[in-house]
Amino acid sequence: MRRFLRQPPKWLDIIWCILLSAYVLAGVSLVPFHGDESTLTYMGRDYFYHFVEGDMSKVLYDETWSISATEQQLRLLNGTIPKYSYGWITATNGYSLEDINGQWDWTLDYQRNLNSNRIPIDGILIPARTVSAVQLALALLLFFVIARTAFNRPVAYLSSLYLVLNPSILINGRRAMMEGSHLLGMMLVILAGLWLIQHRRWWQFILLGIVSGIALSAKHPNAIVIALIFSACGTYAIMQSIRAKSISRSTLQFIGGLVGSGLLALFVFYSLNPAWWGAPMERASEVLRLRSEILELQVEQFDTYFTLSDQINGLLNFVFVAQSQYFEAPTWSLYPAIMEQIQAYEQSLWSGIAIGGSSIGGLIVSILVGIGVLHLIWNTGVPTTYRWLIILWGIGIFVITFILTPLEWQRYYLPIYPFIGLMLGYSIYTLTTSLWKRFAV
Mean per-residue pLDDT for 250-270?
96
370, 430 contact by CB (below 8 A):
no
Q: In the predicted model, is pLDDT for residue 338 greater than 60?
A: yes
Residues in the chain: 441
Nearest to 75 by CA among 217, 266, 262: 217
Nearest to 174 by CA among 45, 42, 339, 341: 341
* Domain regions of the chain by residue span: 2-32+139-439
Q: Report the amino acid identity of residue 345.
A: Y
| CA pair distance 317, 319, nearest whole angstrom | 6
Beta carbons within 8 Å of 271's beta carbon, 6+ residues apart: 213
pLDDT value of position 438:
79
- E strand or H helix at 383: none
Q: How confident is the model at residue 165 (pLDDT cuts 50, 70, 90)?
A: very high
Task: Report the pLDDT averaged over residues 292-309.
Answer: 86
- Of 177-181, 248-252, 259-263, which gets the smallest average pLDDT? 248-252
Question: How many angstroms separate the CA atoms of 176 and 41, rounded?
Answer: 7
Distance (Å, whole) CA 81 – CA 212: 13
Question: Could you read off the pLDDT of 427-439 as tens digits, one per residue?
Answer: 999 999 888 877 7
Residues near 139 by beta carbon (within 8 Å), at least 6 away in sequence: 173, 180, 183, 184, 186, 187
Confidence label for 422 from pLDDT (cuts 50, 70 and 90)? very high
Among 266, 284, 224, smallest CA distance to 76 is for 284
Q: Residue 9 — very low, low, confident or very high, per pLDDT cuts 50/70/90?
A: confident
Is residue 388 predicted with pLDDT exceeding 60? yes
pLDDT one-digit tens code per residue, 60-82: 988 776 667 888 899 999 999 99
CB of 418 within 8 A of CB of 186?
yes
**What pLDDT is stored for residue 7 in this prediction?**
66
CB within 8 Å of 144: residues ≥ 6 apart: 13, 16, 17, 20, 156, 157, 159, 160
- Distances 371 to 54, 58, 80, 234 between C-alpha atoms, Å: 55, 53, 39, 27
Cα(31)–Cα(16) distance, integer angstroms:
23
Q: Which of these, 150, 140, 275, 222, lies nearest to 400 by C-alpha position?
A: 222
Distance CA 380, CA 68 (A): 57
Amino acid at 311: Q
pLDDT of 437 reads 78
pLDDT at 440: 65
